[in-house]
Structure 1
Amino acid sequence: MSALPQPPRHFSMLRGFHLADFFTLGNAAFGMASVFLAMQFLVTRDTTHFLLAALMTPIAFVFDVLDGRIARWRQQHSALGRELDSLADVISFGVGPATLGFAAGLSGGWDIALLVYFVCCGVSRLARFNVTAEALAEGNEGGKVKYFEGTPIPTSVVLTGVLAFAAWQGRIGDALYGGAWMLGPWALHPMALLFGLSGTLMVSKTLRIPKW
């Protein structure tokens, strides 16, 4: 008589996580902290909250780098880890910077359209990498991907740096660099074009970036 299957243990999913996966979750946690601090800035108008929100993105980037290094060091790669990494990156380097941009004053109709475009490009870029990573790694030493197609989504840390500098200079809200243009029924702040450019570079198939 075969033994009855054992019921799953409590927190069995977490028990199956590798060390690198917890660093990936740290990435997501700091990304969410950025979102909440940006919203807190909208309530308090305290620039400290804005700067702290911007700071969360480079901290999330550190965790993003560490999870990959730890996975390679411990030789623990998994499909779950890859999906976790992409989902965390969407929060930290897509939703987080877009929320910060909105909090900085990119709240015109065209601004919001560009912020949505930016996040959608980030999601598309990560999905494309997940489904093409194996093909890109074929024939390479160690089965590693040698280059990125389009800029990686963590490059949005540059956008948060620009916004943090603007906040430090008192150039957010009505004082945003470049002012605002009325195009038809909606306003466009030229700074929002940086998000549009970043999103476009992420989904490019002709731009190849060597993988660090």
Structure 2
Amino acid sequence: MIGKWFPALRYWNLANAITTGGAVCGMLAMVFFVKGHFGLAFTLYGAAILGDYVDGIIARKLKQTSNFGKEIDSLADAISFCVLPAIAGYTLGVTSPLGIAALVLYLIAGLWRLAFFNVSGLEEGGRHSYYTGVPTTIAASWLLVLSPLMLAGDFPGREAALAVAFAICGMLMLSAVPFRKNGPATKALYVLLPAAVVLNWIVVG
């Protein structure tokens, strides 16, 4: 009956629910950034990243992969890893014309990176698979790793440094740089991301 009146809900399963939850975390993180509750905002930011990691595992384990799942995952990534970091940067002081230009570059690069991946997929190279360009999740993750420095207080060149970080992440997402799936740069985040979230609470609290 639900599927008749709300046909999209026919695709409701655990994997897609986790993806949706990640998008909700991304939206709530933006709300808390705007309100200045940075510890909670970055915690939800981290939860969105965790959701993006877990949903794929669940989909494969429970055989819940589908074209619908790929589409909603990409849309959730646009919210949490393109729009959210840009909002975070602005609320943390990247507000000059050049700074906003860097945030816009990051946002556009992320959207184009997601669309490009949807049509190109992974490349195989020996025993490993590679992305063309840095994935949006990874770019957003490394910005979160840098977040304790963003919150640590005002220092000369702070806004310029943040703007450069966003611009570099944007260029790497659009680049032809081969990025290994589940490589060392990704595995390091398993430790660095939780550490950054904890440090943020210490800095703000």
Q: TM-score, normalised by structure 2?
A: 0.80
Distance change (3 Å), C-alpha of 1:86 and 1:7: closer
Residue among 175, 178, 200 paired with 1:208: 178
Do structure 1's residue 130 and structure 2's residue 118 form an aligned pair?
yes
Give the equivalent residue in structure 1 for 2:185.
Answer: none
Residue among 27, 43, 47 paired with 1:55: 43
Do structure 1's residue 146 and structure 2's residue 146 form an aligned pair?
no
Give the equivalent residue in structure 1 for 2:4.
Answer: 9
Same amino acid, percent of matched pairs: 34
Do structure 1's residue 32 and structure 2's residue 27 form an aligned pair?
yes
Name the aligned partner's letter for residue 102 of structure 2: L
Q: After superposition, what is the alpha-carbon deviation per residue over 1:94-149, rounded to whole angstroms, capped at 9, x for unaligned?
A: 1111111100100000000000100100000010000112x747x999xxx92111
- Higher helix proportion: 2
Do structure 1's residue 99 and structure 2's residue 87 form an aligned pair?
yes
Q: How far 1:179 sits from its partner (Å)?
A: 4.4
Distance change (3 Å), C-alpha of 1:7 and 1:128: same
Measured in 2, the distance between the counterparts of 1:15 and 1:7 equals 8
Give the equivalent residue in structure 2 for 1:46.
Answer: none
Q: Secondary structure at the match of 2:146?
A: helix
Measured in 1, the distance between the counterparts of 2:163 and 2:131 equals 25
Name the aligned partner's letter for residue 23 of structure 1: I
**Over the residues paired in the alignment, what is the CA RMSD in angstroms?**
2.4
Larger radius of gyration: 1
Do structure 1's residue 160 and structure 2's residue 183 form an aligned pair?
no
Distance change (3 Å), C-alpha of 1:122 and 1:211: same
Q: TM-score, normalised by structure 1?
A: 0.77
Distance change (3 Å), C-alpha of 1:179 and 1:26: closer
Residue among 176, 195, 201 paired with 2:166: 195
Q: How far 1:166 sits from its partner (Å)?
A: 3.0
Do structure 1's residue 80 and structure 2's residue 98 form an aligned pair?
no
User: Is this contact kept in 2: 1:148–1:209, CA < 8 A?
Assistant: yes
Residue among 103, 121, 142 paired with 2:109: 121
Q: How far 1:7 sits from its partner (Å)?
A: 11
Name the aligned partner's letter for residue 146 of structure 1: S
User: Is this contact kept in 1: 2:23–2:76, CA < 8 A?
Assistant: yes
Measured in 1, the distance between the counterparts of 2:34 and 2:120 equals 36
Q: Secondary structure at the match of 1:67?
A: helix
